[in-house]
Each structure stands twice: as C-alpha cells, then as structure tokens.
Amino acid sequence: MTIEPPAPGEPRRPSGPRDPGDAWVVAESGERYWGRFGAAGLLAVDPKRGVLLQHRVGWSHFGGTWGLPGGARHQGEGATDAALREAREEAGVPAGAVRPRFVSVLDVEIWTYTTVVAEVVVPFEPVIADPESLELGWVGVDEVEDYPLHPGFGAAWPSLRESLRIHPTVIVDVANVVGALADGWWRDRAGATDRMLRRLRDLADTGVDAQALGLRGDLWFPRIVGVVEGEARRAEVPEGLEVVLAPAVGDDEIVTTAATAVARGEAVTVITSDRQLAARVGALGATTHGARWLLDRLPDGVGA
C-alpha cells in the first residue's frame, strides 16, 4: 500500500489548506481509493422524494456517474461526522436536517468506505456548494438503477435498498432493567429511572450493533421506547427519547406498544427479563432479550 496526494487536475477544495486525509491509498494491485483515513458518504432518505444523489464532475474519480455526497475522512474524524460534514460541504445539507438510521461499512483491509443512511426529518433542497457536483437531486427509490451509478454505490445499492424497508424498534421494560442493577434503586425509583432514561437517550445516539439486532449492516439507530410505571413516572424525560407512561400495569402497556409497532411493520425487540411478558410479546412477533443484553450495550460502562 502506498499513499499518493491528489493529482494537479484533481482539486479537493477551491481554497484553504488540504487535510492530511486528502490523498489516494494505492493497493499493490494498483487500485486507488480516495482518503488516507478512509472515506464516508451520506445516503439521505426522504419518504416522499426518494434519495439524494450527486452527479459527479468529470475530473473526479469515476466522473460522470451518480453517487453519494461524500469524501475523505479527516484525521481523527468519526465516519458519521465525516459523512455529515461532506454532505454539508458538497450538497448544503443543513445541520439537524437528517437523523441516522443505519451505517454500512465496506472494508478492503487497507481502506474503508462508510455509508451513513439517514432519514430526512427537516425537508431541505440540496445546493451545489463546491466544484465536485454537476447536479444534485432527489431520485425515487425505484428509479435509482436507471442512472449510471458510481461502481461502488451501484454494488452497494441492492443491499442498501433492502435495508431501507427495515424499521427497528427497541421497547424497554424500564422497571425490569433498573431492577437488574444493584445501585440502590429501591430507595429512589424515580431517580434510578431518570438515570436509565438518560442512558437510553445516549444509546439512541451511539446506536446498536447490527448483529445484536439480527439485521444486516454494521450499526443501526433504532427507535427506542422506554415504558415506565408507578412511582417511576415522576422521572424526568430527556429530550429526544420516546417514553410511555403506563397509566396502570406496565406489562400491559408494553404489550400494547409492541402490538402497535408490529402492526406498522416495524422489527420490534422488547427488553425484559420477565418470562411471562416475553411470552406475550413473542406471540405478537417481537424478539425479546433480557436486561443484561441492554446493560452490556448502554454507553458509559453501565452494566459492567
């Protein structure tokens, strides 16, 4: 493997210093991959307009084809941050306009390309913001294959398209999970619930390993719903987390929430160590995992 800077006819930005990541990684076979630290791109999905594609300028790698806004990762930059930054720089995607749904990584050992698939939550119109785009446009999911696609995107599209149909939801029996921690929760149920809800909010940001959810890809950002009951309903609900306050028995509310999600076609996982409850939601078609499954995945070492 060797590292080569861009050729004179391959400018990366109209002005400003070049990042150390703006270089070609060249395999022993001669294949070239853009981005010394890997590359990342954003597949923005609008439920009404389709996916956002970029018509690549002629001097770029595989110029003239259609692909995703994206590019080389900066040194020390996370893949999701890189995809969002590149989408902002190349297509004018506003901050906060999209919410990640899942991440897929192509790994060729010497180089990686990360596709961040994100749902549009605030509609926007793309804007050509640098010299790398001939056109930007929303393309219907059924029409993508009619375009001359970048070879990498073209190879990945069938799997990405199939995954677009999947909507994972994780419903948490909060009382059951809190009860699995020996942290004195019984002295302050509302306080313990408050801590757990904040950690669930963090999990919504960091995502869940695809294999743990039984899904394809590498990382998913499922819809997370916490169900709380009784005294714990006094807990503060963090912004951005969906919480159901059970008016009576929490188990019944979990079953109702799961049934509604299954009926919408969502891939539902219920977190509870209660065997009776697990049997009830399992009969609806939901997958179940015990409290330990969740505790081992919560950020900040919870459950360690």
User: What is the SS3 assignment for 158-180?
Assistant: HHHHHHHCCCEEEEEEHHHHHCC
pLDDT in tens, 188-217: 888 999 999 999 999 999 999 999 999 988
By the 8 A CB rule, do 73 and 79 touch? yes
Q: Which fold has domain 2-164?
A: Nucleoside Triphosphate Pyrophosphohydrolase (3.90.79)
Q: What is the mean pLDDT of residues 226-237?
A: 91
Q: Are strands 223-228 and 219-220 parallel, antiparallel or unpaired?
A: unpaired
| 168-295: CATH, from 1.20.5, 2.70.98, 3.40.50, 2.40.50 | 3.40.50
Higher local confidence (pLDDT), 220 or 301: 220
pLDDT in tens, 84-103: 999 999 999 999 999 999 99
By the 8 A CB rule, do 149 and 247 touch? no
Q: What is the pTM of this model?
A: 0.87
**How high is the pLDDT of residue 9?**
47
The rounded radius of gyration (Å) of the Cα atoms in the chain is 22
pLDDT in tens, 166-191: 999 999 999 999 999 988 777 888 89
Domain residue extents for the chain: 2-164, 168-295
Q: Rounded to whole angstroms, how far apart are CA atoms 303 and 289?
A: 15
Mean pLDDT estimate for the chain: 91
Higher local confidence (pLDDT), 7 or 263: 263
By the 8 A CB rule, do 261 and 169 touch? yes
Q: Using the predicted structure, report yes or no on whether residue 228 has a pLDDT greater than 80.
A: yes
